[in-house]
Amino acid sequence: MKKAVVLVSGGMDSAVVLAMAREQGFALHALSVSYGQRHTSELDAAQRVARALGAVEHKTVTVDLRAFGGSALTADIEVPDAGGPGIPVTYVPARNTIMLSLALGWAEVLGANDLFCGVNAVDYSGYPDCRPAFIEAFERLANLATKAGVEGAGIRVHAPLLRLGKADIVREGQRLGVDFAQTVSCYRADGDGRACGHCDACRLRAEGFAAAGIPDPTRYVP
């Protein structure tokens, strides 16, 4: 069975990616990164999701990006309500580069040639590392940077949600039997994984479920 390293955040997008990789016949090696995010309920969610979707193993690697700060997710900067122009303060500097690099390192050790991530360029918040050109560039880098790229079968970076809207992602997840109740999307979720209902992540998720005509099992803070 081919192995894949799948980045799992605990949110709905990466849960769907995990299910898609499983459908393609990969043995799932799920990777989460504890980077100092505001709450750990999404890491708890990542663990539940990985188990529910049959991951062979799930690792959580700690890289404390609070050492740098610079984001509302890793510093004492308030998460704003949805909206506003430009790249939002919830952008974590170089986060996807850092996470894909960790996934790449593990993949080489496992002998896996496939990385999966939930990057999405449609209903996204304007993050520069969620663009198709970023994924293509990282794949080139991965093949230059590794033994697998030089001597082996090469590395493929899969971002199957890249061009899907949020509603399509919800529908795909439902088709694949993803239990969305186990996922946490909110930037300001409380310790029990209950969502705020007002941040960008909450807005995108709610709009996606509404557009798909599927009930959203998100639990909100009363």
Between 121 and 196, whose beta carbon lies closer to Zn ion?
196
Residue ranges in 136-195 that form contacts with Zn ion under rule CB under 5 A: 186, 188, 195
By CB under 5 A, the residues from 92 to 131 that bind Zn ion are: none
Applying CB under 5 A, among 52, 122, 196, 211 the residue interacting with Zn ion is 196
How far is the C-alpha of 118 from the C-alpha of 135, rounded, in Å?
A: 11
Please, which residues bridge with residue 59 across strands? Answer: 31
Is position 202 an interface residue for Zn ion (rule: CB under 5 A)? yes
Q: How far is the CB of 11 from Zn ion (least distance, A)?
A: 11
CA atoms within 13 A on the CB side of 43: 14
- Cβ neighbours, 10 Å, residue 116: 28
* CB of residue 151 to Zn ion, shortest distance in Å: 45
Q: Kind of pairing, strands 156-158 and 114-116?
A: parallel
The smaller minimum CB distance to Zn ion, of residues 21 and 186, is found at: 186
CB of 41 to Zn ion, least distance (A): 12
Produce one character per residue of 52-69: b if its CB has 16 or more CB atoms within 10 Å, e if not: ebebeebeeeeeebeeee
Residues found near Zn ion in the complex (CB under 5 A): 186, 188, 195-196, 199, 202
